[in-house]
Structure 1
């Protein structure tokens, strides 16, 4: 069974349980916020955040929706706080809720995209295996955090396997393709195993950069408009 879900394409990946603040200024997404806030009390006010594979989420030209290629797996964002400005723009505080896979996209009925989606649950039969991975992942992640934020020693980290897997995926400085792969992982165990590999890679890279003096200009990278 599929459900319909309005989409908000972005140049980022949202994970369950993570906070995503948004400033909504484009008219089609302002219409989406107005639609959700007008729903009856108690109705779920959520939309799908999905990462853009090709194209940009902001395009004021006609037919902009047709130019977007989206990743198949996204995460819903539940609206927790809405601030409307006099000019009609909105500031939102949202929280990632549940993963979905896009089955079909309607690009014409509404000014924003609407998708038919299937929900992706975390299989419970992998919980035991995932729990065994947690101590090693906690140690690796703490080591990574010490390298990038030495002034924030001793941060409290969750020990629940799925929550930890989402936190690592969202806060580690990874390319969008790696984050998207983690969001699409079939279960927590697979996600944690992949994160173990990625954290080892990032720690080795950070250790090498810190140990070998190089001019800052050699470390410069181009920035994304997102």
Structure 2
């Protein structure tokens, strides 16, 4: 299915169901967000990576206008809806200050994935090593999108994940990443423990020769 969206390129990746707070200050994007608020329209955030628009992005809804400043700037809260591919890009959109484009919506089924248990175990281990609170809810679908920003992926890797059309592929991608990261994090924690021991009195067992 193709639709036309106002486009707001950013150097980041947004996933479906993700909340994103934005400070709107450029005139072209003040126009874009004002129209979305007044007309109940959606807009798109295509990822802008390495000074390029590689093509994928996420359709967004403005959920809250937190503040409108006297000079026209705005603080808003938005939410990711659906992934899309850009079919035709226009800059600017006809008669507007901002860019727009014809986009093809990528339908994402709410599947649990076949690797959920393995991924969850590795995520719990990572959060334990980093002493972070785990908020994993393995009863909800599309776990990959909900944890992708929290496991140390580069923006290029986050974008690659966005382009994958099944939860199985995304889970396998994250598991491969965690398999590389976990040994490094574990060794760092052991090193920190050894450093903490330096300068402390040690109760050592006598050696027998």
Q: Same fold (TM over 0.5)?
A: yes
Matches within 5 A, 1:131-170: 132-148=114-130, 150=131, 152=133, 155-160=134-139, 162-170=141-149
Matches within 5 A, 1:1-226: 1-39=1-39, 43=40, 45-55=41-51, 69-82=52-65, 83-108=67-92, 109=94, 110-123=96-109, 127=111, 130=113, 132-148=114-130, 150=131, 152=133, 155-160=134-139, 162-212=141-191
Q: Is the 8 A contact 1:100 1:119 kept in 2?
A: yes
Q: By how many angstroms is 1:36 displaced?
A: 1.0
Q: Is the 8 A contact 2:142 2:167 kept in 1?
A: no
Residue 60 of structure 1 aligns with which residue? none
* Structure 1 ranges of 4+ moved more than 2 A: 160-163, 208-215
Unmatched segments (≥5 aa) in structure 2? 196-209
Unmatched segments (≥5 aa) in structure 1? 56-68, 216-226
Q: Is the 8 A contact 1:168 1:195 kept in 2?
A: no
> CA 1:71–1:173 in 2, change beyond 3 Å: closer, same or farther?
same
TM-score (norm 1): 0.78
Q: Is the 8 A contact 1:165 1:192 kept in 2?
A: yes
